[in-house]
Structure 1
Amino acid sequence: MTVDAKTELRRRTLSRRDLVSHEEAHAASIAVGERALALVRRFAPRGAETGEVVSVYWPIRSELNTRPLLEILAAEKIATALPVMTAVKRPLIFRGFTPGDDLVKGPFGLSEPAETRPSFDPDIVFSPLAAFDRRGYRLGYGGGIYDATLSQLRAKKRIVAVGVAYACQETDSVPTEPHDQKLDFLLTERELIEFS
């Protein structure tokens, strides 16, 4: 599939995502938060006791809101981190975050923890996306950042990669390239899809 075709698929699915109403978005964030907690308990059942860290993205634009999930994980005393973008096609770094912490504007205009916060290699990574298919592939925003990140983390240890999206972002087939990293799970407001 050409770059133009990827761009068009991204445009279509993000346009659908932009049509989600405020009420639907709120209900989706609660449903995803509850399903996500069950998934975290499955892979990090003792949370703080064993030191597992869960990375959750800070939502921008019309991304599915993960702030309720961050609150749920904090209430369960599960350590969380937010991703920090350093460059296009370069792996993210992850800095510790607890709801209530101040965020700063990073060099790419994103809200992120300050450089003084500790960094981690997370065990579970919740990632945003533009589109997904039932094979476990995601179409991101075109920067290759999550593919680079998942590749780097998987070279170090076993991690769980979870895409987060609205059901309306599903497509029949996401175009893939050799460097594309598959997800282990996909969470929507309707279901949890397991790929591995």
Structure 2
Amino acid sequence: MTDPKTDLRRHALARRDLVTPQEAHAAAAAAAARGLALVTKIAAKAGVATPVISVYWPIRSELNTRPLIDALAARGYGVVLPVMHKVRHPLVFRDFTPGDDLVKGPFGLSEPSEDKIARDPDILFSPLAAFDRRGFRLGYGGGIYDATLSELRSRKQVTAIGVAYSCQETDHVPTEPHDQRLDYLLTERETIVPA
């Protein structure tokens, strides 16, 4: 018997892999504009002029967040990138400015070097495999973003935004008690406020 999460993850990632380069380019531009507008709205509502914003550095067929990083930095927001130390353990976030060199981390991800300042984000953009309109995400199976959000939210107010192509939407993501809900979802087509 197969695990429903495993099946859903496989199907959603297969759909994501079918996005063409032209669609991916247009999606990255749309997500950057929509993401910048959302951050501006969240910051104004919270009364925080310069929030610290974590954005993932894209891998494989993930929606490309580099235009979003550039847009946020150009607007003067503090950008941090996640650094992964262990599976199922919270991420650390280190300062990043477009143009900085990245190093390969222990899991092969591009990350800021150890000499960059570590700061907790106020707003966190998260990659995912699948999502539903309730605000639940299905990650890649490591439990890293759930552990990270759980720890951050125990200390401060953090707004979590899932980033995905609209083709990654599903009717219902199977959840467990430790799963952290997203505050928003951002696709190339829309900004979703979970019901």
TM-score greater than 0.5 by the shorter chain: yes
Q: Please report how far the alpha carbon of residue 3 of structure 1 lies from its aligned counterpart in structure 2 after TM superposition.
A: 6.5
Deviations 1:70-113 (CA, angstroms, capped at 9, x unpaired): 11011101100000111111000000001000000000000000
Structure 1 Cα separation of the partners of residues 194 and 146 of structure 2: 17
Does the 8 Å contact 2:69/2:79 carry over to 1?
yes
Matches within 5 A, 1:42-191: 42-45=41-44, 50-191=49-190
Q: Give the aligned partner of residue 23 of structure 1.
A: 22
Q: Please report how far the alpha carbon of residue 156 of structure 1 lies from its aligned counterpart in structure 2 after TM superposition.
A: 0.7
CA RMSD, Structure 1 to Structure 2 (Å)? 1.6
- Structure 1: tracts of 5 or more residues without a match: none
- Structure 2: tracts of 5 or more residues without a match: none
For 2:64, the aligned partner's letter is N
Aligned length: 194
Q: Secondary structure at the match of 1:13?
A: helix
Q: Secondary structure at the match of 1:119?
A: coil
Structure 2 Cα separation of the partners of residues 186 and 57 of structure 1: 15
Deviations 1:37-88 (CA, angstroms, capped at 9, x unpaired): 0111012249xx8442000000000000000001101110110000011111
Q: Secondary structure at the match of 2:61?
A: coil
Percent of aligned positions that are identical? 67
For 2:192, the aligned partner's letter is I
For 2:175, the aligned partner's letter is T
Comparing 86-95 and 2-11, the one that deviates more: 2-11
TM-score, scaled to structure 1: 0.95
Structure 2 Cα separation of the partners of residues 21 and 86 of structure 1: 32
For 1:59, the aligned partner's letter is P
Structure 1 Cα separation of the partners of residues 52 and 38 of structure 2: 13
For 1:170, the aligned partner's letter is E
Structure 2 Cα separation of the partners of residues 26 and 51 of structure 1: 28
For 2:82, the aligned partner's letter is P
Structure 2 Cα separation of the partners of residues 105 and 45 of structure 1: 35
Q: Please report how far the alpha carbon of residue 175 of structure 1 lies from its aligned counterpart in structure 2 after TM superposition.
A: 0.4
TM-score, scaled to structure 2: 0.96
Q: Secondary structure at the match of 2:10?
A: helix
Structure 1 Cα separation of the partners of residues 160 and 97 of structure 2: 21
